[in-house]
Amino acid sequence: MESKINFMDAIDLLEWQLELGVTETIGNQEINRYLEVKPKSENKVKANIASSGKKVRAEPTLVASSMASAANSLDDLVQAISSFDYCDLKKGARNLVFSDGSPHAKVMIIGEVPDLEEDMIGKPFVGAAGQLLDKMFNAIGYGRSLSDTALYLTNVVPWRTPQNRSLTDDEMEVLKPFLVRHIQLVQPRFLIVMGNTPIQVLLNESRITKLRGKWKTFSGIPTLPMLHPSYLLRNPLAKKETWEDLKMLKVRLGEDL
């Protein structure tokens, strides 16, 4: 028998979807996800885990670690992340936001989470925060173009969150192996970690306003925590501190301003 819902229930359902982060309808056909074939690389990882005698039930972080360490190039890593099905953020995102700039850059910047603009275009830092970031680094002669003074940019996670909510600890944990592998493949001379999310994931620290400007090390790479450009847009007076950090980076790069 055909079931009908009344107008008020339909409104409630729509509101519930908005709360979950649905921003547009993309199809009117139901998809039976149970019939979807798992990507090959993921099946291979599960087979390896099974044959190694470990638990057959795939543990998301373990799957992510195996897939990440099997990636021998940035292209491999993009493939691995694209076929990783254990993070629900992927389902709500339009695009995978992997990186921008030169993979040969001396300076690699790690941001937090892609926003709406980044999700639409598939590149990190293309919205208002990204424009400020470009201005900041251009002021010390660095930019996204392929040159000696190039930057390379990525984020802690490659998918936007529903309604720009903060990442959960689980999401950070599960996706961390891809970020760590990304850094290993790029091998920058310096890492810049912008905002609370990357300092939590990579340095196990929590307060960027306290940590900014204090050099740390991640996996042997000198790492400078800096205020996130979104924070600077909300707190323009803090730009002064960021300018000090940029000058310090310039000195570490062995360059004059």
Q: Which is nearer to ligand URA, 21 or 39 (CB)?
A: 21
Q: Among residues 109, 116, 111, which one has the least CA distance to residue 95?
A: 116
What's the closest the beta carbon of residue 35 comes to ligand URA, in angstroms?
34
User: Shortest Cβ contact with ligand URA: which residue?
Assistant: 111
What's the closest the beta carbon of residue 154 comes to ligand URA, in angstroms?
8
Contact yes or no for 80/90 (Cβ under 8 A): no
What's the closest the beta carbon of residue 207 comes to ligand URA, in angstroms?
17
Q: Which is nearer to ligand URA, 142 or 231 (CB)?
A: 231
Cβ count within 10 A of residue 151: 24
Interatomic CA distance for residues 132 and 115, integer angstroms: 15
Write the Ramachandran bin of 39: left for phi over 0, alpha for psi from -120 to 50, otherwise beta: beta
What's the closest the beta carbon of residue 41 comes to ligand URA, in angstroms?
26
Q: Give whole-number Cα distances, 64 to 84, 87, 105, 216, in Å.
A: 7, 10, 26, 26
Q: Which is nearer to ligand URA, 42 or 112 (CB)?
A: 112
Return phi, psi of residue 7, to 5°: -55, -45
Q: Which is nearer to ligand URA, 114 or 188 (CB)?
A: 114
Q: Which is nearer to ligand URA, 48 or 163 (CB)?
A: 163
What's the closest the beta carbon of residue 199 comes to ligand URA, in angstroms?
12
Q: Which is nearer to ligand URA, 101 or 114 (CB)?
A: 114
What's the closest the beta carbon of residue 103 comes to ligand URA, in angstroms?
17
What residues line the site for ligand URA (CB under 6 A)?
111-115, 118, 124-125, 127, 129-130, 155, 230
